[in-house]
A and B are shown apart, each in its own frame.
Chain A
Amino acid sequence: MLIADIDKQYDGGPHIQASLRIPHGASTTILFGPSGAGKTTVLRCIAGLEKLTAGRILFDGHEWTSIPPQKRPIGYLFQEYALFPHLRVRENIGYGVRRKPDVVERIAAKLKVYELLDRRPSELSGGQQQRVALARVLAREPRLLLLDEPLSALDAGTRDHVRSELAHLLRGLGIPAIVVTHDWVDALTLGDQMVVMNAGRVLQTGPPQEVFTRPQHREVAAAAGVETVVAGRVKRRQAGLAILEVGSAQLAAADPGGEDPDFYVCIRGEDVTVEKGRAEQSSARNHLPGIIVDAVAAGILTKVILDVGFELVALVTRQAVADLELKKGAEVFAVFKASAVHLIRRGS
């Protein structure tokens, strides 16, 4: 169990306060928020790379507050991986476990970098660098993993692939991990638990899906940028589309491929329009009948919460609210394109 009550005041700079409780076992906690929120500072304080102004850090009953970083059994993955450029991959992985060549080879095989052992870091692709950096960290058998934006240094093409590999790896390790990210796809894919930060404060804590669907602050909703996140299951696939069962409704989405039928269904409020009566001609694939549960002002838009067999949020203009008389209890259709549905694979 990690108990971290962090209070860090930079001289004439930001003030960061956060409390984390992280249980034993293979759980991944996402530290989520925009840049400048203080996520990396929290990570660096836990690692001992920054001194606390006040507060304390306990790990399994051991006092970590003022011991040096070397004494903490932490695996820290830096944002740009920080591989030693003057050392080959073999020496990088073995850096913290000298005189144990068997450990290096075993961990290299596990992370599929065995063939790269004699290369220099500059000769590796981004994905390979990440695996080497993970191997270097895991060689020491840490009891806590800290990952600072593990995917941000990768290009979009490799990111999806590396993300699912990382999710698989984290689940198999059996140790707690804290992952800093500002990407909601990372959060949903990797996270069991989520801590949302903004401007040096923790805004909300909970399972990622719950945080996204029930943001308690406007900042959380804005940071997430996606109003509807619900669990769904693929029933059938046809012509490049996946038909999913979500709650008691069915909807169509672009087929992401793969065998696994379980997904998070993510829909941005801006992509959903609300209509009265069935629309005659429309290219949109999804026309779901439902009832308005609530309608609340959200800046220049109105946030309309619909029950269409699951809870769906639409962001509509005030003009539309007035024209269509969108009030609580009204019977409407929610309309959105199949391509507006973003599917995120749900780990078992």
Chain B
Amino acid sequence: MNWEALATTVKLASTTSLILMIIGLPLSYWVAFSKWRWKFLVEAIVALPLVLPPTVLGFYLLLAMGPQSPLGRWYESLVGHGLSFTFEGLVVASVLYSLPFAVQPTAAAFGSVDRKLIEASWMLGVSNFETFFRVIVPQSWAGVITGLVLSFAHTLGEFGVVLMVGGNIPGVTRTLSIDIYDRVQGLDYSGASRTSVVLLIASFVILSIVYGFNRKVWFFGADRRHRQAV
């Protein structure tokens, strides 16, 4: 078991899901409630990583982060080194790669909040911003947590993008999935199998949590009422 790779992976997944939570909440709100006519284009862009080969995404990110691109140059002038083949670069790539896993369940949950509850909040003098945190998010916990956990799990298992953008630097960008790849290349099948089991069990446990959450059994009255209605 490569503990260093495990630590890198967990650090990457936690950072990514935390950032996705912060940018995912407002983005999901916008996706759920905006009436902009071109909204579908934004939705398509958010969903793109679901169908795009990770190598394609990784390739474009590599170009975007490189010293020839404005973004790469800007970042280098800011912190003194480039984005590609660094942990930060990996975080940027993972955030984009896991974006749909954070946004889609959250936006779906926001969109299914009873409109009357939101309007009732407005009619009690409470602003849109405050209504978001006092009504919409509490009514969407299952979706928010699903988004958080899925983006964590998805980052845990990412391979193609990591390889393209992060390379394979031990302690910095070598994650568990790349470690497995390395070991198989080096014919260390027992090492690869130990790591694989860890990833398999972790993924299964995480998905069980997600599906368990979405049974909504231990949730508040709204869901109880909903189940009666169904």
Binding site for B on A (CB under 8 A): 47, 49, 68-70, 74-76, 78-80, 82, 84-86, 95-96, 120-123, 136-137, 140
Is B123 touching A47 in the complex (CB atoms < 8 A)?
yes
List the A side residues contacting B222 at CB < 8 Å.
85-86
Is B122 touching A86 in the complex (CB atoms < 8 A)?
no
Asked if B120 is at the interface of the complex by the 8 Å CB criterion, the answer is yes
- Of the residues A70, A78, A85, A136, contact of B127 by C-beta under 8 Å: A70
B50 to chain A, nearest CB (A): 31
List the A side residues contacting B127 at CB < 8 Å.
70
A98 to B109, CA, bound (A): 27
A82 to B124, CA, bound (A): 12
Q: Which 9 A-B pairs have the closest CB atoms?
A: A96-B124, A122-B221, A85-B222, A85-B221, A82-B120, A76-B123, A82-B116, A86-B220, A69-B122
List the A side residues contacting B225 at CB < 8 Å.
85, 122
Interface residue tally for chain B (C-beta within 8 Å): 21
A195 to B125, CA, bound (A): 28
Is B114 touching A140 in the complex (CB atoms < 8 A)?
no
User: Which B residue sits closest to A136, measured CB to CB?
Assistant: B124
A74 to chain B, nearest CB (A): 6
A80 to B229, CA, bound (A): 14
List the B side residues contacting A121 at CB < 8 Å.
221
Chain B at the A interface: mostly helix, strand, loop or mixed? helix
Is B117 touching A84 in the complex (CB atoms < 8 A)?
yes
Residues A120 and B124 in contact in the complex (CB < 8 Å), given A78-B116, A78-B119: no
Is A69 touching B135 in the complex (CB atoms < 8 A)?
no
Is A140 touching B221 in the complex (CB atoms < 8 A)?
no
What are 5 A-B contacts defined by CB distance under 8 Å? Answer: A74-B123, A78-B116, A85-B117, A95-B124, A122-B221
List the A side residues contacting B196 at CB < 8 Å.
none
Is B121 touching A95 in the complex (CB atoms < 8 A)?
yes
Asked if B9 is at the interface of the complex by the 8 Å CB criterion, the answer is no
A82 to B114, CA, bound (A): 9
Is B122 touching A82 in the complex (CB atoms < 8 A)?
no
- Within B110-168, the residues touching A (CB, 8 Å) are 114, 116-117, 119-127, 134-135, 138-139
A183 to chain B, nearest CB (A): 21
Is A120 touching B123 in the complex (CB atoms < 8 A)?
no
- Within B180-230, the residues touching A (CB, 8 Å) are 220-222, 224-225
- In addition to A86-B221, A120-B221, 13 A-B residue pairs with Cβ atoms within 8 Å of each other are A49-B122, A49-B123, A69-B123, A76-B119, A84-B121, A85-B220, A86-B139, A86-B222, A95-B134, A96-B124, A96-B125, A122-B225, A137-B123
Is B126 touching A70 in the complex (CB atoms < 8 A)?
yes
List the A side residues contacting B135 at CB < 8 Å.
84
List the B side residues contacting A70 at CB < 8 Å.
122-123, 125-127
Is B120 touching A69 in the complex (CB atoms < 8 A)?
no
User: Which B residue sits closest to A124, measured CB to CB?
Assistant: B221
A220 to B193, CA, bound (A): 79
A35 to chain B, nearest CB (A): 17
